[in-house]
Structure 1
């Protein structure tokens, strides 16, 4: 089974950086649009459409950020768990190796 399942914790770390970049880009886009007011654009109908878009964009970007944050937390937790398992396995194998070389094992 171990031959078919591998986890690269460095890749998980890179994925976390990508997610953080997405949140940063989303916030920058929303901030840039926040300075544009609908009453600066033109007709009343266009102004109303822009106001509606701004409201939907804000809501959608906030929802997207929450989802990205939730995924990030899950990936962080999984990365930490994989690293802890790797450390425990490394310690166990070192302990077994030490027992084998110290004569602590008995052959029957």
Structure 2
């Protein structure tokens, strides 16, 4: 029989880390926008930065969508495992007065 354990604490941390992922990418995009406002001094480079910003914004949108789906799924998995663990503990705990 396979040894299978699930750490609900790890699942909670994973969900939290995924939420922070989008925020970190957003900070990079803001920094790129800030650099573009002042201009790089080269039209072709400013144009390339603008194009990259559009791609980055699209990618960030997709990352956020995926993170939301994963986060929702992880919440459900964590709740299921917590519920199962509580049910098993309750079932294996002798009732008061029985021994």
Higher relative contact order (CA 8 A, sep 6+): 2
TM-score when normalising by structure 2: 0.83
3-state DSSP of counterpart to 1:49: helix
Between the two proteins, the alignment pairs up a number of residues equal to: 99
2:95 is aligned with 1:98 = yes
Change (3 A) 1:34 1:47: closer
**Where does residue 70 of structure 2 map in the other structure?**
71
State the distance in 2 between where 1:78 and 1:12 align: 8
Unaligned segments of structure 2, at least 5 residues:
none
State the distance in 2 between where 1:60 and 1:49 align: 16
State the distance in 1 between where 2:76 and 2:52 align: 36
3-state DSSP of counterpart to 1:37: helix
User: Deviation at 1:100?
Assistant: 8.0
RMSD of equivalent CA atoms: 2.1
